[in-house]
Amino acid sequence: MAVQSNLKNMAAVLTLTCLLCSAVLGGAYALTKAPIDAAAREKTDKAIGQVLPAFDETSYEVATVDGKTYPYYKALRGGDLVGYAVESTTIGFGGNLSLMVGITPDGVVYNTSVLSHSETPGLGAKCASDAKFMAQWKGFDPSSKILTVKKDGGDVDAITASTITSRAYALAVQQAVDVVKALEDPVEPGVTETTEAEGQVEKSQTQEDPSHE
């Protein structure tokens, strides 16, 4: 029932199909680009909303601490600083583990939220669903508690059978804490919010960094 094949019609049909399909996709890409970006933004906004007390405006900035760059959001309420939401990424068991960590200006963790992870379902993936594990970050005060898992002598309750994920999570929180520490208490004021700040703020990251265990 299909047409006899010859070189001309084969080439013509293939070319036509490819052109048509690319055109359709190009159009669809242009149409869906805005909603896709909006979805990504909404996800970030939702995460910030979860990890910080009520605020009415945020500003996006980037900080560099210890050679790593961290996007963060400064949240204000009526002009007063309510806290920082820092995106912090470490390496878990299955790949990157990305967190949004909300920290109030006094350096206490307000809450955390998992942005993306590739941990094992049923094991490490619980870092995004296990109520007990997630609850311990609310109000975690890094000045009185140690941000490593109990197995390593710290105060973090690890997820059962997922020490590597729990360590990565604690490290990500620690990184965010260090970022805020550097922002709140810059060694040389005014230079922490840009990438030039590298050298100065390194000094503020001192004790109990589990990456050097």
Partner 1 sequence: MEYFLIIISAIFVNNIVLAQFLGICPFLGVSNKLSTATGMSMAVCFVITLATLVTYLINQYLLVPFQLEFLQTIAFILVIAALVQMVEIVLKKVSPALYQALGIFLPLITTNCAVLGVAMTVVTKEFTFGGTSHLLNLGEALVYAFATSLGYGLAMVIFAGIREHLSLNDVPKAFKGVPIALISVGILALAFMGFSGMVK
Partner 2 sequence: MSNKLKLITDGLAKNNPTFVLLLGMCPTLATTTSAVNGLSMGLATLFVLVLSNMAISAIAPAVPDKVHIPVYIVVIATFVTLLQFLMQAYTPAVYETLGLFIPLIVVNCIVLGRAEAFASKNGVLASACDGLGVGLGFTASLTVLGLVREIFGSGSVFGWNFIGGHDGMLAFVMAPGAFICLGYLMVLFNKFIKKD
Instruction: Work out whether 36 is an interface residue with partner 2 (CB under 8 A).
Output: yes
Site string for partner 1, 71-110 (x = CB under 8 A): --------------------x-x-xx--------------
Among 116, 129, 194, 211, binds partner 1 (CB under 8 A): 211
Q: With respect to partner 2, which residue has the nearer C-beta, 5 or 207?
A: 5
CA–chain centroid gap for 35, Å, is 21
Site for partner 2 in 136-165 (CB under 8 A): 160
Site string for partner 1, 9-38 (x = CB under 8 A): ---------x--xx--x---x---------
Selection from 55, 98, 103 nearest residue 83 by Cα: 103
Among 3, 59, 78, 212, binds partner 2 (CB under 8 A): 3
Site string for partner 1, 126-155 (x = CB under 8 A): ------------------------------
In SS3 terms, the chain reads as CCCCCCHHHHHHHHHHHHHHHHHHHHHHHHHHHHHHHHHHHHHHHHHHHHHCCCCCEEEEEEEEECCEEEEEEEEEECCEEEEEEEEEEEECCCCEEEEEEEECCCCCEEEEEEEECCCCCCCHHHHHCCHHHHHCCCCCCCCCCCCCEHHHCCCECCCCCCHHHHHHHHHHHHHHHHHHHHHHCCCCCCCCCCHHHHHHHHCCCCCCCHHHC
Instruction: Work out whether 39 is an interface residue with partner 1 (CB under 8 A).
Output: no
Q: With respect to partner 1, which residue has the nearer C-beta, 91 or 187?
A: 91
Q: Least CB distance from residue 128 to partner 2, whole Å?
A: 11
Q: Choosing among partner 2, partner 1, none, which partner's interface includes residue 140 (Cβ < 5 to 8 Å by kind)?
A: none
d(CA 51, CA 39): 19
Q: Choosing among partner 2, partner 1, none, which partner's interface includes residue 81 (Cβ < 5 to 8 Å by kind)?
A: none
Instruction: Work out whether 60 is an interface residue with partner 1 (CB under 8 A).
Output: no
Instruction: Work out whether 205 is an interface residue with partner 1 (CB under 8 A).
Output: no
Site for partner 2 in 121-140 (CB under 8 A): 121-123, 131
